[in-house]
Chain A
Amino acid sequence: MHIMEGYLPVGHCVAWAAVATPPFAAGVRRIKRHLEEHPETKLLLGAAGAFAFVLSALKMPSVTGSCSHPTGMALGAILFGPAPMTVLGGIVLLFQALLLAHGGLTTLGANLVSMGVVGPWVSWWLYRGGRKLGTSMGIAVFVAAMLGDLATYVTTSFQLAFAYPDPVSGMGGSVLKFLGVFAVTQVPLAISEGLLTVLVINLLLENSKPELRALNFISEEVSDATA
């Protein structure tokens, strides 16, 4: 989902940076307030960021004969809400842009919108919606993580298509071309991200009940006996 350095026109870079700035600022405020209210969840927030660090470093082969990577944004979005993930996603993207020449500074805004804004919000809404409809936690987490990951790559495809409409078939044709590159490749990886997010949530449910309760992820009534 990384649009490479210098691959978006200047105007688009500026516009996407402008779009990404308010959610980033809101995320910073959100994290500050959250840590004041629940200082005991600081390390868990770090772990959610670290999960994104691992997953976005894993370039995995896919059925299209090319490689891509998950984003790891859903775990934190489900636990802490989507706003803080914009900040954590920004840190991951900056690390990769500066040290790995992966993504870029000029495309940071666009990449932050797809990975740090659209993905986490989609995951959060799907998780909330799924739980309200009575879906089990495992299924809700899986669907939220899988489709949040996919939504990020679909967003990237649209961002590139906006910038480079096909001379013959227009923007629609261009969207299909970029979806062919990103979205199809991403399907098995999105499933992997769903499975890994469920795995980590399972592990957290075993030993991190006090923090999950502070986050209102599990209700107060759940007994402490097994925690």
Chain B
Amino acid sequence: MQRRNLWLMVGVVALAVLPLAIHLPGTRTDFGGSDDQAGEMVEKLRPGYQPWFHALWKPPSDEVESLLFAVQAAIGAGFVCYWLGWSRGRTDGRKGREDAGA
């Protein structure tokens, strides 16, 4: 199972890294966000389109934005790993008690 999980991780990393080298012909190479590209598409379909509402608050710089994205990922990963570690400890503890009682 552990080897299988390792291959799953290798697959994810490969899928994230390979597109940096190989991409479909005729596509862009700036690696911008697809959300922003959809916005550009709206402006192409409706020339002169102005968004009628703006975000109440925007991260003041790319650095602050990347900080907040990292915080979001850290909170998520932290909690997922807390669960995985806690349940692993529970299993080990149970095994330990069984060994002691046997």
Binding site for B on A (CB under 8 A): 1-7, 10, 43-44, 46-47, 49-68, 72, 95-106, 156, 160, 163-167, 174, 177-178, 181-182, 184-186, 188-189, 191-192, 195-196, 198-200, 202-204, 206-208, 211, 227
What residues of B have a CB within 8 angstroms of the CB of A49 in the complex?
Answer: 79
In the bound complex, what is the Cα–Cα distance between A65 and B22 (angstroms)? Answer: 9
- B24 contacts partner chain A, Cβ-Cβ < 8 Å: yes
Q: Is the CB of A57 within 8 A of B32?
A: no
B68 & A68 in contact (Cβ 8 Å cutoff): no
**Chain A at the B interface: mostly helix, strand, loop or mixed?**
helix
Q: 8 Å CB contacts to A: which residues of B17-52?
A: 18-20, 22-24, 27-39, 41-42, 45-46, 51-52
Asked if B84 and A196 sit within 8 Å, CB to CB, the answer is no
Task: Tell me the total A-B contact number using a CB cutoff of 8 A.
Answer: 202
Q: Which of B15, B51, B91 contacts A188 (CB 8 A)?
A: B15
For chain B, which range describes its interface: under 10, 10 to 19, 20 to 34, or 35 or more residues?
35 or more
Of A6, A99, A181, which one neighbours B54 at CB under 8 angstroms? A6
Chain A residues near B100: list those with CB within 8 A: none
Extra 11 A-B pairs, beta carbons < 8 Å, given A156-B38, A198-B8: A4-B51, A47-B84, A50-B76, A57-B73, A99-B59, A101-B57, A104-B53, A104-B55, A164-B42, A191-B11, A199-B5
Whether, in the assembled complex, B97 has its beta carbon less than 8 Å from a beta carbon of chain A, the answer is no
Interfacial chain B residues near A55, Cβ < 8 Å: 76
